[in-house]
């Protein structure tokens, strides 16, 4: 979106081409971007302490009048001068020492009040305030601190913002009726008081309004997209074959699997586009749901594609789908980057002529050589690992395709509003009946020998085990590197057993070989990094040991633990940590419910980890903090839905500023 000439950063007094270039490195290319370059923190000089109540070795803010002459000394062989004087506030006197450049004349006046803030030194009988910050009487006592880089100073930002304010803050994207309903100040007041707060209450009002605006604009954008998706025509799937598919399975589906499958089928039968997220905890049976949908699509004469983030997971899906579809006449093809030229040619022909009904693969599916005859359904697994452009490119290989995304990362429901707000949501909230409960323990490193004996006991019983290390080639001496750990275990403690190594720096074919040998039982113990976090399914693996467990987030620990307990055998997870703060590990040992763990993770660590799993392209929040602003998220979502329900294309004149804000946000999300 082009910047209007009147809103160019060059129109701000004091900003020329050189300064404009520096500001652009901060993402500031317009008056509006400058005014919305929010402070990261504030220095608060409003809490004044009487001089009589001061004591040494702490920071204080005092307000007093300079009552003495100023004595200035030029420091020997240094480019600075020292000025000493006394101030009084009516409760006592205080010596103040200021340092300044030799060529700069002393700038404070006798018999004038100033506010000083800094560390008190000396003793109770001879206190001194040395090198304090000086705040003039006409300056705000709450001062902004800005995020800086590229050679731009805080004073440059502050002075530039002050110079930009007379140019106006632009049109308010929050409609007046919404502002009144939720008690929000107008945009002009908010911008002025977020940069130069007149008081704490003025700052609070400004921040509340700007946080609401940011979340409201984002929620409106999501509601706008969701409304637009409802109007999109999708390939109409005439007949539901899910009952036939579930009858093929060697197990009974859960009621949650059936419900979620039926929700997706209903979307595809409506004539509109399926645009849905299926979220399920580890082991809840998302793969069977995906297979059921592919089965129905294929039985209706169309093709389906499922894209996984790794070759290991793609091969696993291929094996599962092939087994599910035995005897159904549905043909599955596997598309990965390691295909030979002859295999690729054959698959290409089978796909374009419709011989392959379901294409399972990695990002190879979006390659130019992959073409479908009549693609109707696209499923992306662990969708946070794919960018928006990648998912769109796969969907564009068919006309009017339905889109389903699947995630095994439980997200607190309230936070899901902002992460997946443009998608309909289905949750598989039930486990298969034969799912084993995993016993979990947190132990210190000195119990490692007992843990090793436990692993050996399980191996002798015919089972297998994982040991997860945080990183490969870690520099920290206290971290277990997977490579070093593997070498040590295979040569010493487990020299009589088959030990394998798996980490992210290995080549794809090396990873595949290790995983296939582990699945076949040729490897007893697999030393690995978090490369096994996503979707690996080895039912015979019953023990997982996670080294330095305090280094992982709760949700990641839960994903890792989900690699065991996938068969009919009792499974155990051991978290090894010498950290004294093990509150997170206590949570892990108390529950295996991913949604409860996600809620606790949100409380303990904030939303950062979850936002890391969001769709690529979601703009960073500039002022909202979801750890503290969940209530504003809730009401902004309600407000956004009410706007879209009355004006689904934001065409009303009253919504023009909001539409411009939404368009800008969506444009930035694509970049």
**Predicted local distance difference test score (pLDDT) of residue 617:** 44
**Predicted local distance difference test score (pLDDT) of residue 669:** 66
d(CA 89, CA 61): 12
Q: What is the DSSP letter of 658?
A: H
Tokens for 392, please give them.
Answer: 């769109």
Residues contacting 594, CB < 8 A, separation 6+? 281, 282, 410, 555, 558
**Predicted local distance difference test score (pLDDT) of residue 67:** 96
User: Once rounded to an integer, what is the mean pLDDT over residues 256-264?
Assistant: 96
- Is the predicted pLDDT of residue 387 greater than 70, yes or no? no
- Is the predicted pLDDT of residue 612 greater than 50, yes or no? no
- The domain spans of the chain are 1-46+149-166, 47-135, 242-428, 438-591
Buried b (16+ CB within 10 A) or exposed e, 535-559: bbbbebbbbbbbbbbbbbbbbbbbb
CA angle at residue 304 from 299 to 310, to 5 degrees? 140
Which CA distances in Å does 14 have to 7, 10, 140?
A: 15, 9, 22
Count CA within 13 A, CB hemisphere, residue 252. Answer: 5
User: Once rounded to an integer, what is the mean pLDDT over residues 254-270?
Assistant: 96
Classify domain 438-591 at the CATH topology level: Rossmann fold (3.40.50)
**Predicted local distance difference test score (pLDDT) of residue 88:** 98
Give the chain's end-to-end CA distance (angstroms, integer): 12
Hey, how many other C-beta atoms are within 10 angstroms of the C-beta on 1? 9
- Residue 507, SS3 per DSSP: coil
**Predicted local distance difference test score (pLDDT) of residue 309:** 83
**Predicted local distance difference test score (pLDDT) of residue 383:** 55
- Is the predicted pLDDT of residue 94 greater than 80, yes or no? yes
Q: How far from the centroid of its chain's Cα atoms is residue 423's Cα?
A: 17
Give percent of the chain with pLDDT exceeding 70: 91
d(CA 425, CA 332): 27
d(CA 34, CA 53): 41
- Is the predicted pLDDT of residue 582 greater than 50, yes or no? yes
- Say if CB 542 and CB 567 are below 8 A apart: yes
User: Once rounded to an integer, what is the mean pLDDT over residues 74-90?
Assistant: 87
**Predicted local distance difference test score (pLDDT) of residue 476:** 44
pLDDT in tens, 266-295: 999 998 899 898 988 888 889 999 999 999
d(CA 329, CA 357): 9
- Is the predicted pLDDT of residue 665 greater than 90, yes or no? no
CA dihedral over 15, 18, 22, 28, signed as positive or negative: positive
- Residue 462, SS3 per DSSP: coil
Q: What is the DSSP letter of 385?
A: G
User: Once rounded to an integer, what is the mean pLDDT over residues 636-662?
Assistant: 93
Hey, how many other C-beta atoms are within 10 angstroms of the C-beta on 403? 21
**Predicted local distance difference test score (pLDDT) of residue 391:** 59
d(CA 671, CA 666): 9
Task: Identify the helix (H) or strand (E) that includes residue 220.
Answer: helix 200-231
User: Once rounded to an integer, what is the mean pLDDT over residues 634-638?
Assistant: 91
Confidence of residue 151 (pLDDT cuts 50, 70, 90): confident
**Predicted local distance difference test score (pLDDT) of residue 439:** 95
Give percent of the chain with pLDDT exceeding 90: 59
388 vs 218: which has the higher pLDDT? 218
Summary mean pLDDT of the chain:
88
d(CA 426, CA 256): 9
d(CA 505, CA 530): 12
CA angle at residue 615 from 609 to 616, to 5 degrees? 95
Lowest mean pLDDT among 256-270, 504-518, 638-652: 504-518
Q: Please choose, from the candidates 452, 471, 455, 466, the residue with its C-alpha nearest in 3D space to the C-alpha of residue 529.
A: 471
Lowest mean pLDDT among 115-119, 275-279, 308-312, 523-527: 308-312
Task: Identify the helix (H) or strand (E) that includes residue 407.
Answer: strand 402-407
> Is 47-135's fold the same as 242-428's?
no
- Is the predicted pLDDT of residue 4 greater than 80, yes or no? no
Highest mean pLDDT among 59-68, 417-426, 468-477: 59-68
**Predicted local distance difference test score (pLDDT) of residue 227:** 79
**Predicted local distance difference test score (pLDDT) of residue 432:** 81
- Say if CB 303 and CB 357 are below 8 A apart: yes
- Is the predicted pLDDT of residue 29 greater than 70, yes or no? yes
**Predicted local distance difference test score (pLDDT) of residue 103:** 63
CATH 3.40.50.2300 holds for 242-428: no
Lowest mean pLDDT among 12-16, 140-144, 229-233: 229-233
Hey, how many other C-beta atoms are within 10 angstroms of the C-beta on 628? 10
CA angle at residue 46 from 41 to 48, to 5 degrees? 135
Confidence of residue 369 (pLDDT cuts 50, 70, 90): very high
**Predicted local distance difference test score (pLDDT) of residue 106:** 74
- Is the predicted pLDDT of residue 170 greater than 70, yes or no? yes
Q: Is 581 exposed, middle or buried (0-12, 13-18, 19+ CB in 10 A)?
A: exposed
d(CA 344, CA 348): 6
User: Once rounded to an integer, what is the mean pLDDT over residues 23-52?
Assistant: 94
d(CA 215, CA 221): 10
User: Once rounded to an integer, what is the mean pLDDT over residues 223-235?
Assistant: 80
- Is the predicted pLDDT of residue 201 greater than 80, yes or no? yes
User: Once rounded to an integer, what is the mean pLDDT over residues 473-478?
Assistant: 42
- Is the predicted pLDDT of residue 519 greater than 50, yes or no? yes
618 vs 486: which has the higher pLDDT? 486
d(CA 607, CA 601): 8
User: Once rounded to an integer, what is the mean pLDDT over residues 80-97?
Assistant: 94
Task: Identify the helix (H) or strand (E) that includes residue 188.
Answer: helix 187-195
Hey, how many other C-beta atoms are within 10 angstroms of the C-beta on 507? 9
**Predicted local distance difference test score (pLDDT) of residue 222:** 84
User: Once rounded to an integer, what is the mean pLDDT over residues 352-366?
Assistant: 95
d(CA 575, CA 573): 7
**So what CATH class is 47-135?**
mainly beta
Confidence of residue 608 (pLDDT cuts 50, 70, 90): low
Q: What is the DSSP letter of 502?
A: E
């Amino acid at each position: 979106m082009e910047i209007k000439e009147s809103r160019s950063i060059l129109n701000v007094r004091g900003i020329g081409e050189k300064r404009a270039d520096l500001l652009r490195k901060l993402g500031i290319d317009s008056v509006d971007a400058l005014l919305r370059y929010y402070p990261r923190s504030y220095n608060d000089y409003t809490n004044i302490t009487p001089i009589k109540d001061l004591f040494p070795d702490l920071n204080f803010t005092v307000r007093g009048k300079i009552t003495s002459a100023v004595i200035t000394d030029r420091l020997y062989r240094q480019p600075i001068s020292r000025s000493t004087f006394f101030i009084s506030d009516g409760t006592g006197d205080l010596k103040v020492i200021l340092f300044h450049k030799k060529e700069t004349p002393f700038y404070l006046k006798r018999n004038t009040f100033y506010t000083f803030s800094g560390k008190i030194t000396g003793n109770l009988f001879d206190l001194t305030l040395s090198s304090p910050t000086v705040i003039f009487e006409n300056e705000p006592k709450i001062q902004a601190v800005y995020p800086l880089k590229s050679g731009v100073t805080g004073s440059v930002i502050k002075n530039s913002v002050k110079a930009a304010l007379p140019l106006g803050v632009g049109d308010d994207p929050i409609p007046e009726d919404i502002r009144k309903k939720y008690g929000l100040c107008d945009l002009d007041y908010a911008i002025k008081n977020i940069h130069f707060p007149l008081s704490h209450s003025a700052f609070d009002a400004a921040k509340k309004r700007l946080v609401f605006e940011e979340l409201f604009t984002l929620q409106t954008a999501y509601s706008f997209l969701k409304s637009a998706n409802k109007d999109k025509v999708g390939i109409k799937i005439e007949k539901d074959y899910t009952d036939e598919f579930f009858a093929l399975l060697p197990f009974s589906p859960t009621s949650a699997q059936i419900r979620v499958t039926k929700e997706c089928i209903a979307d595809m039968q409506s004539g509109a586009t399926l645009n849905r997220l299926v979220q399920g905890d580890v082991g809840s049976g998302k793969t069977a749901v995906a297979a059921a949908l592919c089965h129905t699509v294929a039985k209706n004469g169309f093709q389906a594609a499922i894209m996984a983030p790794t070759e290991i997971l793609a091969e696993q899906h291929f094996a599962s789908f092939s087994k599910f579809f035995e005897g159904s006449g549905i043909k599955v093809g596997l598309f990965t980057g390691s295909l030979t030229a002859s295999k690729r040619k054959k698959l290409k022909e089978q796909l374009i002529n419709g011989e392959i009904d379901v294409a399972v693969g990695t990002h190879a599916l979006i390659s130019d050589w992959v073409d479908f005859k009549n693609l109707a359904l696209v499923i992306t697994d662990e969708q946070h690992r794919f960018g928006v452009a990648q998912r769109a490119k796969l969907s564009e290989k068919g006309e009017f395709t339905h889109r389903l995304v699947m995630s095994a990362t439980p997200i607190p429901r309230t936070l899901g509003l902002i992460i997946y707000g443009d998608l309909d949501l289905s949750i598989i909230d039930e486990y298969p009946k034969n799912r084993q409960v995993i016993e979990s323990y947190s132990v210190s490193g000195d119990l490692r020998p007992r843990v090793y004996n436990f692993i050996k006991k399980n191996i002798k019983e015919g089972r297998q085990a994982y040991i997860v290390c945080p990183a490969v080639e870690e520099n920290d001496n206290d971290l277990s590197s997977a490579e070093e750990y593997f070498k040590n275990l295979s040569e010493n403690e487990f020299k009589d057993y088959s030990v394998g190594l798996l980490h992210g720096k290995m080549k794809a074919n090396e990873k595949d070989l290790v995983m296939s040998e582990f699945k076949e039982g040729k490897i007893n113990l697999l030393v690995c990094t978090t490369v096994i976090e996503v979707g690996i399914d080895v039912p015979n693996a019953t023990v997982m040991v996670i080294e330095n467990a305090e280094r992982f987030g709760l949700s990641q620990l839960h994903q890792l633990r989900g690699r065991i307990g996938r068969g009919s055998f009792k499974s155990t997870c051991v978290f090894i940590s010498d950290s004294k703060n093990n509150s997170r590990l206590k949570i892990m040992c108390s529950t295996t419910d991913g949604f409860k763990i996600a809620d606790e993770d949100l409380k303990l660590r904030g939303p950062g980890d979850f936002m890391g799993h969001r769709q690529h392209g979601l703009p960073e929040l500039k002022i909202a903090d979801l750890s503290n602003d969940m209530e504003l998220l809730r009401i902004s979502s309600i407000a956004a839905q009410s706007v879209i329900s009355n004006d689904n294309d934001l065409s009303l004149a009253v919504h023009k500023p909001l539409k411009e804000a939404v368009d800008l946000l969506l444009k930035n999300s694509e970049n």
